[in-house]
Each structure stands twice: as structure tokens, then as C-alpha cells.
Amino acid sequence: MSPTVDVNGTARHHESNATIFEIGDSDLSRLLERPRPVNIERKRSFDERSFSELSISSPPRQFYRNSENSSRVFDSILSPARSGISTPRSFTCVETHPIVAEAWVALQRSIVHFRGQPVGTIAALDHSTEELNYDQVFVRDFVPSALAFLMNGEPEIVKNFLLKTLRLQSWEKKVDNFTLGAGVMPASFKVLHDPVRNFETIIADFGECAIGRVAPVDSGFWWIILLRAYTKSTGDTSLAEMPECQRGIRLILTLCLSEGFDTFPTLLCADGCSMIDRRMGVYGYPIEIQALFFMALRCALLLLKQDEEGKDCADRIVKRLHALSFHMRSYFWLDIKQLNDIYRYKTEEYSHTAVNKFNVMPDSLPDWVFDFMPTRGGYFIGNVSPARMDFRWFCLGNCVAILSSLATPEQASAIMDLIESRWAELVGEMPLKICYPAMESHEWRIVTGCDPKNTSWSYHNGGSWPVLIWLLTAACIKSGRPQLARRAIELAETRLLKDHWAEYYDGKLGRYVGKQSRKNQTWSIAGYLVAKMMLEDPSHLGMISLEEDKQMKPHMKRSASWMC
């Protein structure tokens, strides 16, 4: 065993065996070369044109240095020794809030390098507490950072990240004596430096070190979504067309599209397989995974080459998309009419003409949902499975449903109506509730196993997460409600810098910094920057939003026969 030092200077030991991922210099230089020049004419889609027209910001003006400190911040970013990444253009081309300068500095400090190349951003730079796994580059955490860099015209770090995680996918992945599927993407990775050999290696976590030992189902979906965002932003299709990337996409989809005993087109998942990575009662068919699955399928359809393997995969994707969109729009959607229908459900129905197809017991309806549901509005509920409906609101799943066009235009508008009418509950004093409402007392003890981190109105159990503001902003712009996004951003700006970019907030209104919240949480920083840049230039939304598929089968009535 040889001593190693990670990127933050922590001494560690590891064995030089299969758990260490190393890349040859020739492979690295080939894969990380800059994109080939692409001679294309950028044409905005109908959606992108409408996004530009939605901008409600004032005309762009020069970056305002409101103090001597801001001047020093600006100068520090200009310094080439800071990160190797070019100066954020945001400072000179858009209207900025005074904390934007501080946000860019913090984001630059979070950059992780591997053999001289920027490959991601660390989860948090909080030296006041134990690092645990916050000193790693997480796939899901890097997404808002990647979008910030892309929007700022800095695609190199995003390309490097995509290639690095793609190579990690090729590892043999084992938990104890069980081998995971070839398509599983890592939850995170970490750069280790050997001071003796002056050599860097990477270690990755595919779930074997995670809480509960659960593989990250969302990582592969975020990777595909980010690859499409990179392609859309840069106009460079050469990365996605690489045989390695095409194979990576197919391997991820093979895990999801394989045949089995499923009777539903949704993905069956364990607790803790996504952003909510602890026991929170989201096992089954959680909305977050289904919405990301839908979006990843649509992105893959745009990225796959039309060769024999690509066409075969595309055919399977199209069939799944039709089934998945019908299922989600029909059975996961809840508005006041559907709530009343469930309240009046009959049970023990048999045959394909049954209305209560999942045999949900009306007495299982929670009391809070009747008061929470406005007359105008609706949302995709948290989970639907046999005899079980989770009526909790989950922010990420509903926002991604809008961005991917899983939600119809009418449903997207209804989700925005719900957020606006339930602003105090879902936004409060700090955007944005990860889920609502929180589980309390007996329910908390049974469902979470008395998890001390997920107590009521804290962390995943009704906590408020600033990172979600970028998803809210994107969904608001796409739905024609940019004023809601501006309201949320202005609210966040009163606290973020003062609270040192906290990871999450506690309390029904999100008034208090979370009891175990990390400071300088990178995705809180990046989420704010992405939201700010999208609001200033709504055309950025094109890289993370998909237009409605006009060829998608029309929405069918919930009472239609299962055999239709």
C-alpha cells in the first residue's frame, strides 16, 4: 500500500488494484482533444424564439462593481492561475446582482483537475466539518455546474467530465460478490494524488460506498441529458457520435429497456437511488426517476446514430416513450377532479375495464391533500404502484416533467398554478421544498427508520434546497411564467451569500440553515448562477428543454380500457 493525497490534501492509503482507474496518456490526449470545428448555422427553434421573447430583464449593462471587495473578486477571476478556465463572460455581458461575482469565484474554486485537465466540481468546500464524501465529484451535482459553464461559453470542462465518467462506466462494478450491470454510471469519483510518484489516479463509487449500498439510477440519465445539452450548446456533434459515447448510451438504455416481469412502462427502483439518497419511502416508481427516464429517452433519440444498432435502440425507445407518456399522464397526474374520483373509488374491481386499476383504497388518502389541492392546479404525485399512491409533491420530478414535455402544456400550466397558489408551502422564505409535506412522528419513525438527518422539515424530509431554483426557473420560463422565477431568485439572493451558500434549509418556511447543512455547497452556487443566466437570456433554456413531440400518441382518458 502506498500513501496518497486527495485534491484537498487529505492523506489516504489505497491498494493498486482493480479499484483504481487509470488512463494512458495517449488515450487521454486523444479523448480530451478540443472539439473539431463545426461549420454550422445556428437556427433557433420555435421554442427558443419564444424563450427569447419571454425575457423580462432590463437591457444588458456593464458589470457593476459595488465595492472594493467586488473589484478584488473580479480581478481574482481574471487571474489565469485561478483555474485554467476562461473568465466568465457573465461579468461583462449581463446585468448582475452583487453576489454573482462571489458565486463565480466560489464555483471556480470548486473545480477538480485530473492530470492538468478540469474534470468536474467538488460537492462542497466546507473545511469546518468532516468531509465524508463531499470532497468528491458527483454526477448529479455537477449538472448545474456544467450548465453554468456551457452558458458561459466554457465547454471544455463539460467535455472532459463526460469522457471521464464514460470511461469509468467501463469498470467492472462489484458490490460484495455481485456484479452490477455494464451500463451503470458512477454516483461520484475522486482524484487522488500520490506525492511519491507525483501521479494522479481516480477512484469511483458505483453505490458500494453509498448509504444503503444503492446504485445511482439517476446518474446514467443525467449523463445522457448533459451530453445532449453539450451538443445543443456547442453545435459539436463529434463527441456524441464517438463510438464510445454511442456504446455508453446503449449500455445505459439496455439496463432500462430490458424485458422482465414488469406490467408497467415505469422503472422499479429502490429507496435512495437518486437525489433523495436515503430511506424516504420513495421505493417503487418514484416520479423523479420516471421523469428523468422519460427525458433521457428523448435525448438519446436525438443523439443515437442511424446505424443498425442505433435504429434498433431507437425503435425500442419510441415504443417505450408512447407507453410511458400515457401511463404517467394518466395515473400519476392529480388535480381536483382526479382527487375527487379517487375519493369515490370502488375497490376489488376485476377485468381490464376497471377504473381503480391499482386497487387504491380511498381511506388511504391523507387528510392534508384535500387542503393542499387548489381549485386550479395539479401535479404529478410521488409514486404509483399496486394499492399504493404517494401523494407527496416532489419538486425535481415535476420540473423535469415540464422540461421534457412529459407534462402536456395544460399539465405544465397546472403545475405552475399549484406553485403560485401554494407559494408559502413550497417556496416559503427560501426556495425550494424538495418534497411536501414532511413526514412526522409515527410515520417518520416507520418510513425513515428514525433517520436523525431526515427529521421533519429537514434535509430530504421537507427541507428547502437552493439548488432546485435552476429547475424551477427553467420550468417557469418554459411555461411562460418567468415572473415566478424572478420572485424566487430575488428571495434566494437575500440569504445565499450571507449563509455561505448553504446546502439546504430547515423548517416549514425554510427559515433556518439546515442542522447538518454544508457551507459552500457547489450546486447551490451553480444552481443560482444557472437560474440567473437563464432569466437574463431565456434562449439558454434550449439546451435543457425539449419541445413537445407532436407525434406522441394523444392523451387518453383515464377510464379507457387497458386493452386500447
Rounded-to-integer distance, Cα 410 and Cα 51, Å: 18
Among 28-37, 286-295, 529-538, the range scoring the smallest mean pLDDT is 28-37
**Nearest-CA neighbor of 456 among 370, 383, 515?**
515
pLDDT-derived band at 554, boundaries 50, 70, 90: low
Residue 533 near residue 469, CB atoms below 8 Å: no
Residue 64: partners with Cβ closer than 8 Å, 6 or more residues away: 96, 98
Rounded-to-integer distance, Cα 411 and Cα 416, Å: 9
pTM of structure: 0.84
Helix, strand, coil % (nearest 5) of the chain?
Answer: 45, 15, 45
pLDDT, position 95: 53
pLDDT, position 72: 41
Neighbours of 356 (CB within 10 A): 17
**Mean pLDDT across the stretch 329-335?**
97
pLDDT, position 153: 97
**Nearest-CA neighbor of 216 among 247, 244, 180, 251?**
180
Residue 400 near residue 374, CB atoms below 8 Å: no
**Nearest-CA neighbor of 324 among 260, 257, 251?**
257
In degrees and rounded to multiples of 5, residue 182 shows phi and psi of -65, -25
Rounded-to-integer distance, Cα 175 and Cα 161, Å: 24
Rounded-to-integer distance, Cα 333 and Cα 512, Å: 32
Neighbours of 279 (CB within 10 A): 20
| One-letter amino acid of 93 | C
pLDDT, position 351: 82
Residue 482 near residue 476, CB atoms below 8 Å: yes
Please tell me the total number of residues recorded for the chain in this structure: 564
Dihedral sign, CA of 95, 98, 101, 102? Answer: negative
Cell of 81: 492561475
Does the pLDDT at position 25 exceed 50? no
Q: What is the pLDDT of residues 100-124, one digit of tens each?
A: 999 999 999 999 999 999 999 999 9
Q: Please, what are the domains in the chain?
A: 98-543 (1.50.10.10)
Among 36-50, 228-242, 256-270, 315-329, the range scoring the smallest mean pLDDT is 36-50
Higher pLDDT, 344 or 12: 344
**Mean pLDDT across the stretch 500-519?**
97
Q: Residue 130 class from Cβ within 10 Å (0-12 exposed, 13-18 middle, 19+ buried)?
A: exposed
pLDDT, position 555: 52
Does the pLDDT at position 526 exceed 80? yes
Residue 269: partners with Cβ closer than 8 Å, 6 or more residues away: 217, 282, 283, 284, 285, 286, 289
pLDDT-derived band at 81, boundaries 50, 70, 90: very low
Q: What is the pLDDT of residues 338-397, one digit of tens each?
A: 999 999 999 988 888 899 999 999 999 999 999 999 999 999 999 999 999 999 999 999
